[in-house]
C-alpha cells in the first residue's frame, strides 16, 4: 500500500487572519470503516474526491502557482497493548513552525499542531479508521507494518503574483500507510541532480523541494534502483541525502557517520533519534562532511532514515557506473539493531524509556 490517497473522514483546518488562528474539525462523511469496506471501487473514488475537496479554498494561490508551502509527515502507530501512539510529534511541531517562518509565514503554534494531530487520529479511530497491531509484523521488524500517516500542510491564500503568504491555512489529514519501500532490491544510485543549494530552502520541509526528489526518485526506479543519493551542490563531492530521507554510513573504523546539518539538509526527526539510539549503544557517531570517495572505500553498512523509511538498509551504491556492495549485500548487524530498536519503541514492543511516544488512544 505505502502511501494511499484514502483520507480518513475527519480533518482539521486553521486559518490565520487578524493576527490569530481560527480552528475547526471537519467530518466529511458519517460512514463507518466497515460500511466503506463494502463500497465498490467507483463508490470509494467518489467518496475520496469529496473528502479531498474544500470548495471554500482558492484554486489560484501562492501554493498552486509557485509551490509556496511546507508540510510535515508523522505517524500514529498501533501499539502492542491495543492503543495508538505518535512518535515525537513535538519535534514535528517545532520543525513545522520553523518551516513556516522560514517561508515568511506566521508560525503555527506548536501546541495547536500537537492538539490537531492527536485529535484527528483520535476522532478517526473513533469511527473505526485505524490499523490494529498484528504480531506477524514482529517477524520482519515492522517493515511491513501499518500505521496512520498524519499530514499537516499549509495552503496559501488566493493570489496570482509572486508573493509570500501572510494569511495561510494549515490543514491536517490522516491516511493509511504501510511500507514505504517496496520489496526486492535495496540498491541505490548517486544522481546527477541537485536537491538543494546553499542559501536555499533545503533545511525547510518545503513542498517545492520535493519536485527534484520526485524526478530523481523516478529516474532511479526506471533504472532499477530503490533509492537515489544526492551530492552537494558546490563541490559535487560530499554526500547529503537520499531522495526524501537522511543517510548513515557505518564505517570500517567503527564510526557511524551522517552528513552534518546545514541549510541544504533537512533536520530529520528519525535521524536525530537514530543518533541518540546509536550513542546509547556505545557507537561513535559523527555529524560531518563525508565524501563519496570515503563512502565507497570505507563503508561497511549503509542505511537511510525518515518517517516513512524508518531505518532502511541500503545494500549497494552505484556511482559513475561502478557498483559498491556493502556487507556482502546483506543487512548489517548495527543497521538491524538500530532498525529493530527504533521500530520496537514506535510500536510498543520495547519500552519507551525516552518518553518519545505520545498516546492518542
pLDDT digits (tens, 9 = 90+) for 280-329: 999 999 999 999 999 999 999 999 999 988 999 999 999 999 999 999 99
Q: What is the 3-state secondary structure (H, E, C) of 205-235?
A: CECCHHHHHHHHHHHHHHCCCCEEEEECCCC
198 Cβ neighbours under 8 A, 6+ residues apart: 233, 234, 262, 263, 264
CA atoms of 174 and 6, how far apart (whole Å): 8
Question: Around Cβ 54, how many Cβ atoms within 10 Å?
Answer: 14
pLDDT band at 241; cut points 50, 70, 90:
very high
Dist CA 274 CA 169 (whole Å): 33
User: pLDDT value at position 3?
Assistant: 52
Domain 187-346 of CATH type 3.40.190.10: no
pLDDT tens readout for residues 328-343: 999 999 999 999 999 9
Q: Report pLDDT for 4.
A: 56
pLDDT score at 1: 41
pLDDT of residue 46: 83
Mean pLDDT throughout 109-131?
A: 97
Higher pLDDT, 15 or 30: 15
Residue 145, pLDDT score:
95
Report residue 147: phi and psi, to 5°. Answer: -160, 175
Report helix, strand or coil for 350. coil
CB atoms within 10 A of CB 144: 14
Within the chain, all domains assigned CATH 3.20.10.10 are found at 187-346
C-alpha cell at 45: 473514488
Closest CA to 81 of 259, 280, 291, 348: 348
Query: Model's pTM, two decimal places?
Result: 0.95
% of the chain beyond a pLDDT of 70: 97
Helix (H, G, I), strand (E, B) or coil at 16: strand
Write down the architecture of domain 10-177 according to CATH. Answer: 2-Layer Sandwich (3.30)
The CATH 3.30.470.10 portion of the chain extends over 10-177
At 2 the pLDDT is 54
Amino acid at each position: 500500500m505505502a502511501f494511499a490517497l484514502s483520507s480518513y473522514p475527519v480533518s482539521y483546518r486553521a486559518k490565520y487572519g487578524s493576527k490569530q488562528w481560527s480552528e475547526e474539525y471537519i467530518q466529511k462523511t458519517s460512514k463507518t470503516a466497515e460500511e466503506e469496506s463494502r463500497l465498490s471501487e467507483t463508490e470509494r473514488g467518489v467518496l475520496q474526491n469529496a473528502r479531498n475537496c474544500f470548495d471554500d479554498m482558492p484554486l489560484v494561490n501562492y501554493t498552486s502557482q509557485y509551490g509556496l508551502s511546507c508540510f510535515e509527515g508523522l505517524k500514529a502507530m498501533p501499539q502492542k497493548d491495543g492503543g495508538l501512539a505518535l512518535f515525537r510529534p513535538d519535534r514535528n511541531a517545532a520543525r513545522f513552525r520553523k518551516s513556516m517562518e522560514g517561508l515568511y509565514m506566521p508560525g503555527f503554534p506548536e501546541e495547536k499542531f500537537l492538539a490537531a494531530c492527536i485529535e484527528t487520529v483520535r476522532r478517526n479511530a473513533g469511527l473505526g479508521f485505524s490499523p490494529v497491531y498484528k504480531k506477524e509484523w514482529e517477524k520482519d521488524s515492522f517493515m511491513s507494518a501499518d500505521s496512520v500517516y498524519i499530514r499537516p500542510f499549509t495552503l496559501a491564500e488566493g493570489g496570482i503574483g509572486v508573493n509570500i503568504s501572510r494569511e495561510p491555512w494549515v490543514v491536517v489529514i490522516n491516511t493509511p500507510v504501510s511500507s514505504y519501500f517496496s520489496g526486492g532490491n535495496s540498491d541505490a544510485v548517486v544522481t546527477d541532480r541537485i536537491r538543494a543549494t546553499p542559501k536555499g530552502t533545503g533545511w525547510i520541509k518545503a513542498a517545492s523541494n520535493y519536485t527534484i526528489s520526485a524526478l530523481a526518485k523516478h529516474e532511479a526506479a526506471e533504472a532499477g534502483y530503490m533509492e537515489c543519493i544526492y551530492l552537494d551542490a558546490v563541490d559535487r563531492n560530499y554526500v547529503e541525502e537520499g531522495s526524501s530521507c537522511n543517510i548513515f554510513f557505518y564505517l570500517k573504523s567503527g564510526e557511524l557517520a551522517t552528513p552534518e546539518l546545514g541549510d541544504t539538509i533537512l533536520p530529520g526527526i528519525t535521524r536525530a533519534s537514530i543518533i541518540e539510539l546509536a550513542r546509547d549503544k556505545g557507537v561513535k557517531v559523527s555529524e560531518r562532511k563525508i565524501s563519496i570517495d570515503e563512502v565507497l572505500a570505507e563503508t561497511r553498512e549503509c542505511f537511510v532514515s525518515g518517517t516513512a523509511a524508518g531505518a532502511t538498509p541500503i545494500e549497494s551504491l552505484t556511482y559513475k557506473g561502478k557498483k559498491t556492495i556493502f556487507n556482502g549485500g546483506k543487512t548489517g548487524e548495527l543497521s538491524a539493531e538500530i532498525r529493530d530498536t527504533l521500530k520496537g519503541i514506535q510500536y510498543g514492543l520495547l519500552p519507551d524509556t525516552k518518553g518519545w511516544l505520545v498516546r492518542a488512544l
